[in-house]
Amino acid sequence: DIQMTQSPSSLSASVGDTVTIACRTSQSISKFLNWYQQKPGKAPNLLIYAASTLQSGVPSRFRGSGSGTDFTLTISSLQPEDFATYYCQQSYNAPKTFGQGTKVEI
Amino acid sequence: QVQLQESGPGLVKPSETLSLTCFVSGDSISSDYWSWIRQPPGKGLEWIGFISYSGRTNYSPSLKSRVTMSMDTSKNQFSLKLSSLTAADTAIYYCAREVLYTGSYFGFQKWGQGTLVTVSS
């Protein structure tokens, strides 16, 4: 199985800040990396696929980058609705594995 | 707009078998891949497996011996059975649609709202 390691596990930020979340995989996965946002009591929501492609309807302040084993999700000009938990997930092969999550708090 | 809705018991006894169904509306399940993903309360996400539009299945190795997935295209729904339950199987269970984007990239594009399953006597 491909292991996913996210960092940090949580971070505190303010509205308007820029935050960066890292995701590292245990083996190279090219660009087969997705990012999800999950709010309390809700299902995850796909933000970015193929490491850097924004899902339809996702604001442009979300940006994904990276390839191989190191990936980054950057949220610019943080908005109140962005406070949530973020997960990376590899789609390179089965079993599809997720990072442990990064909680973005005020 | 495709919608997914999980259905099943909220409480199951240890050693019993969990049966969940995901009803899909707004599109046919005769395309794409249909997955089950679970999340223990307060914890992260775990992929259980998928069933494809053609009926091909792929299960997580850690659960493979206990999982069976099936689909009913006439009812536009797919199902999960998980046997020999223990307290460690207590989780929110989500069904999700995994779509293929250009370049062979997949993503869980649409999720059900999730259903909490508690394993307890």
Per-residue pLDDT of chain A (106 residues; tens, 9 = 90+): 999 999 999 999 999 999 999 999 999 999 999 999 999 999 999 999 999 999 999 999 999 999 999 999 999 999 999 999 999 999 999 999 999 999 999 8
Cβ neighbours for B47, distance < 8 A, ≥ 6 positions apart = A94, A95, A96, A97, A98, B35, B36, B37, B60
pLDDT digits over B65-83, tens only? 999 999 999 999 999 999 9
Taking any CB pair shorter than 8 Å as contact, residues of chain B touching chain A are: 35, 44-47, 49-50, 58, 60-62, 94, 96, 101, 103, 105-109, 111-114
On average, the pLDDT of chain B sits at 96
Instruction: Indicate if the alpha-carbon torsion angle B25, B8, B30, B38 is positive or negative.
Output: positive
Would you say B97 and B109 are in contact if contact means Cβ atoms under 8 Å apart? yes
If pLDDT is split at 50, 70 and 90, which confidence band does B102 have?
confident
Residue B31 has pLDDT above 90, yes or no: no
- Closest CB to A87 among B45, B61, B114: B45
Q: Please state, in angstroms and rounded to a whole number, the distance separating the CA atoms of residues A34 and A43.
A: 15
Output the CA torsion B72→B73→B74→B77 (10° steps).
60
Contacts of A42 in chain B (CB under 8 A): 113
